[in-house]
Amino acid sequence: MLWTIIVILVILWLLGAFGRNLSPSFPKTGNWIHTLIVIAVILLILQLLGVISI
């Protein structure tokens, strides 16, 4: 379950970071891109350390 959330956050981050290159109609996301990747990395580290057992 947690891996699914991490994958979704990374995909959203990639779309936000490189979406403008794919289509100019993609909305500008600003700092949300960085927030998504930070959340995904924190969840990944906690999962690997065994702090979260979902």
Contacts with 15 (C-beta within 8 Å, 6 or more apart), sequence order? 26
Domain ranges of the chain: 2-49
Is the pLDDT reported for residue 9 higher than 60? yes
- Looking at residue 53, its pLDDT comes to 62
Q: Which two tokens stand for residue 23?
A: 């289509």
**39-54 confidence digits (pLDDT tens):** 888 888 888 888 766 5
**17-40 confidence digits (pLDDT tens):** 777 777 777 667 667 777 878 888
Q: What sign for the dihedral angle of Cα 45, 39, 8, 14?
A: negative
Size of the chain in residues? 54
